[in-house]
Structure formats: structure tokens, C-alpha cells
Amino acid sequence: MHLKNKKLGVIGTGKMGSALIKGICDSGIIDSSNVHASDVFDPGLERMRAELGINISNDNELTVMNTDVILLAVKPQILKSVLKSIKDKVTAEKLVISIAAGVSLQDIAKELKPGTRIIRVMPNIAATVSESASAICPGPTASMEDAELALEIFSAVGSAIIVQEKLMDAVTGLSGSGPAYIFPVIESMADGGVYEGLDRESALVLAAQTVLGAAKMALEFHKHPGELKDMVTSPAGTTIRGIKELEERGVRAAFMNAVIASAKRSRELGE
């Protein structure tokens, strides 16, 4: 595997950073002794060292010097200052991967030395349970091997695909923000179960597992969602009655509009 002989540095150990570190270490694609993590202040760093056996530091420059691949998992509003602070340590041999939402490859490149190999990635919060949907966009100076390495990293915490940068706003609206659209669905389905007599805990388990199972079928059966729907929907049965209610209330259009609105906002933030 590409990462076996590489050292990985992760700058920023918040929810996404720590989730990626854990997923990468648990997957075995890289030995934990070759993972370096840094944050200006994070009381969880020591816990990660004890749990995973990684190297930790409060010095971002030290992390960059000791690694081959630098994963920037910091918030967009502080990315520029972080890039400036590590610029002199990012040599031509190093690959920089950013997961900062809305920050373009061009804007990242402005803060680093000319020719720096850069890859932009949009994962989502499901990385915390190793089920992220990630989109990878290689910069113009990144090689195919660099892109494959990024795919390997993010496939360790879910599924990953390569897209053009012009589609990253669409990715943000769909998979980046998408988990937040599904949580109310789970809650609402559970509410319906409670209304019909189920206790809350049982209703939530059934609703969440139903969403998980449907998603797994969509990924593994390789059939159009309409075909999968028809597998459940018998003539004059219970399911078609529920489908009719969803259609009458515009649920399909509501989800489409949610993705479109989120993508639009992503474009606005990037301007």
C-alpha cells in the first residue's frame, strides 16, 4: 500500500481530525508509530497517544518536519494562518491535504511555496464512525500517485471518490451537509413509531437501522433507487400508502432543494 512507508502528520485534532486519525490507525494502512498529530491546544492529544500509540506535539512545524504527508484538519477561518506558519517547512517532497470547507486549491497554494503538491478533500461527519462520504480533488501539481494515496487515506474511514474542483460546492451540499438532512428523517420516523405505540428507544433503533439498511442496499445492489423502492412496495399495500403521503407532501422536492440551497451557500462562502 502507498502509505506503508510514509509518515502522516495531522494538524488539528478536533472531531474530524481525531476521527481520521483513529480510522487510519484502526484500518492498519499505516502504523500508528508513523502518525504525528499536533494542535495548539487539545487536552485529547495525550489520550490519543495513550489509546493509539501516535506521536503528539503542540508544534505544527515539528509535525511537518517529521512527516511526508500533511493533513490539515483545521477550521477554514484559521487555515491561512496555519499555512503561513508551516510554509518554510513544506518542502517539494511533501504532500499537503486540506479538508477545510470552502477553501479552494488556489487559495491554499497562495500561502505555500510554488509547486507544492496539494489535494483538497471534503469528508463528512460520518468519519467519526468510519462511514464518511469523501470527495477528493487533486491540485494541478499533484500526481496520480498522490491522488491514489489520498483515496487510500479517506477510504479507511468510509467511501471516497475523485471529483473536479468545480463540483466541490455540489459535494458540500450533498454529502458534506447531508448527514444533517438524515437525522431529522430518523427522528421523524421514530416519532411516527412512538405515535403508534413503540417506546422511544425501540423506535429510534428501528428507524436508524432502517436508514442504514436502505443505504447499504443502494450501495451494494447497484440498482436504481426506484427499483429498490418497488422491491418493498406491493399493490394496495402498506408501503404504497406511505409513499403516496410522502409524494403529496413534497418530500422529494424538499430534499432536492436542501442540497441545492446548501451548495449555493457554499459558493457564497467561497467568494
Give residue 242's pLDDT band: very low, low, confident or very high (50, 70, 90): very high
**Angle (CA) 138 142 147, round 5°:** 55
**Residue in 259, 16, 209 with CA at minimum distance from that of residue 130:** 16
Strand partners, 120: 98, 137
Cell 499555512 belongs to residue? 83
pLDDT at 269: 79
Is the separation of the CB atoms in 113 and 137 below 8 Å?
A: no
CA distance 139 to 117: 7
Residue 98 pLDDT class (50, 70, 90 cuts): very high
pLDDT computed for residue 48 by the predictor: 87
- Label residue 47 by pLDDT band (50, 70, 90): confident
State how far the alpha carbon of 36 is from the alpha carbons of 61, 62, 173, 232, 256, in Å.
11, 9, 31, 48, 40
Average pLDDT, the chain: 93
Of 31, 6, 2, the closest CA to residue 147 belongs to 2
pLDDT(1) > 60: no
Domains of the chain as residue ranges with CATH: 2-168 (3.40.50.720), 176-270 (1.10.3730.10)
pLDDT of residue 27: 86
* Structure confidence at residue 260 (pLDDT): 97
Burial 95-122 (b: 16+ CB within 10 A, else e): bbbbbbbbbbbebbbebbeeebbbbbbb
Query: Three cell numbers at 69?
Result: 504527508
Whether the per-residue pLDDT at 109 is higher than 70: the answer is yes
pLDDT of residue 72 exceeding 80 = yes
